[in-house]
Amino acid sequence: MLFNSYLYIYLFLPVSVAVYFLLYRRSSAAARWWLISCNLVYYGWWDPRYLLLFGLSLAGNYCAGHLILAKMKNPRFAGPKAVTAAGILFNVALLGLFKYADFFISNVNMLTGETIPLPGIALPLGISFYTFIQIAYLVDIYRGAAAVNGPAEYLSFASFYPQLFSGPIVRYGDISAQRDNPGLGTPNYDNIARGLFLFSLGLFKKIMIADNLAPFANAGFDLSAQLTLFDSWFISIAYTLQLYFDFSGYTDMAIGSGLMFNITLPVNFNSPYKSVSIQDFWRRWHITLSSFLRDYIYIPLGGNRRGSVMTYANLMITFLVAGIWHGAGWTFLFWGFLHGAALIVHRLWVKTGVQMPRMLAVFITFNFVNAGWVFFRARTFTEAINVLAAMTGLRGITLPALFEGLLGGFAGQFIRFSPQWMLRGDIFTVLLTAFLLAVAFTAKNSGELLERFTPDRKHILWASAALAVSLIFIQRHSEFIYFGF
């Protein structure tokens, strides 16, 4: 069941919210168990078989949390640190089996010449996200930053359906503090209005922007060996924008859905393509993942407390984990390596004390990120290298024929002109890509628009128009990009 589906918008979301508040009037426990039931229905809608795995993960982590607290009071035979480590290992083992088994075995076969059969296990949706959520939960209990209450409170947190498949990566403390709100069980029409506004923006991003860029980007990567300089740049930028509007659109819809339950999920994007450095980018892109990597991997490794060399090593390890977390493939691992290396270079640059002009800093950062997304999107290194070779002009420079009259006298033997100036010959997509690039650099993001939101005629009109247009163009069930991670 996708956020961008009639079933979710017209039935599941409104019914789950309405019944939740109706039940809360009589019993908060009944309302909470209703929400848990909705969470499990939402997850099981994709493939009921994976409810067993999800249930095992939930039960295992709930029991591990209780055991950590018990060991804090009586560390007999094993201390709380050992139990926390065992709980983390349990989560990593599940993720490793269901996400990386084929990747690991295929590489063993390649290195050893063996023919070990691949298990071919289908990737359970959301496993990357709910694994990190529950690792953070166990570590926070060990650190004293989270408490273990009844199963209903834990299950309603860990399985909350708006953030279940693609985040934000929520921490227990993000939600538990809101449970004490005396108005939690009462419909808050301001929250509902804000939630609908944000949901409409997110749906528009997905349907009208990301889904219109997707065919162009997909065609380009499928035919990477045929790309020209002009094509390759538009295709790479189209994917860069598609990924942002798709993922931030999902986050908007997730946060909007949560607001209707009076639950505020954490912000996940803050205009990342306006970043002035790679460090700034990771403070703006997938913010909850960045904070997870910092607090649960980078800092426990030692952070920047053990000298420059260890700091650089810790950065690289952290982003190699980030790369492989995104997908079971060498291109993802290399993408993580690139970002780890860029963060090291950034730290070295900062030590020089040289200030770069802001526009130049944004230009360099964006182009690095854009080039990095090529490896993120490509299925093989060959595909990625084909795209990058075209982008750098290594296959020669071919421009649209319309430039021949302007540059013909200066072109010489280095520039060719072709009437086939784009893979799909779609001028609309090129203009849309150029326009959206300008939007990404200049416009206010969803969070900034939400801060200024008031349920007046102007905002209601814009939200209604975005929602109506999006609903008209829901023609197919197109999954969000991050569902595959």
Residue with token string 């060719």: 416
* CA-wise closest residue to 233 among 391, 393, 434, 439: 391
The Cα-based distances of 485 to 87, 126, 214, 325, 335 in angstroms read 22, 7, 17, 8, 14
Neighbours of 27 (CB within 10 A): 12
Query: Phi and psi at residue 184, in whole multiples of 5°?
Result: -60, -40
Give the CA distances from residue 292 to residues 59, 185, 204, 398, in Å, rounded to whole numbers and listed in that order.
22, 30, 29, 44
SS3 percent helix, strand, coil of the chain, rounded to 5, is 70, 0, 25
| Six-digit token string for 11 | 């039935």
Nearest CA to 375 among 414, 400, 341? 341
**Which of these, 412, 411, 174, 374, lies nearest to 292 by C-alpha position?**
174
The catalytic residue among 66, 286, 326, 339 is 326
Cis peptide before 14 (omega within 30 of 0): no
State the Cα–Cα distance between residues 150 and 157, nearest whole angstrom.
11
Taking the C-alpha atoms of residue 312 and residue 294, their distance in angstroms, rounded to an integer, is: 13
286 catalytic? Reply is no
| Cβ-proximal residues to 197 (8 Å cutoff; 6+ apart), any chain | 256, 449, 450, 453, 459, 463
Contact predicate 96/293, CB 8 Å: no
* DSSP class of 118: P
- Residues taking part in catalysis: 326
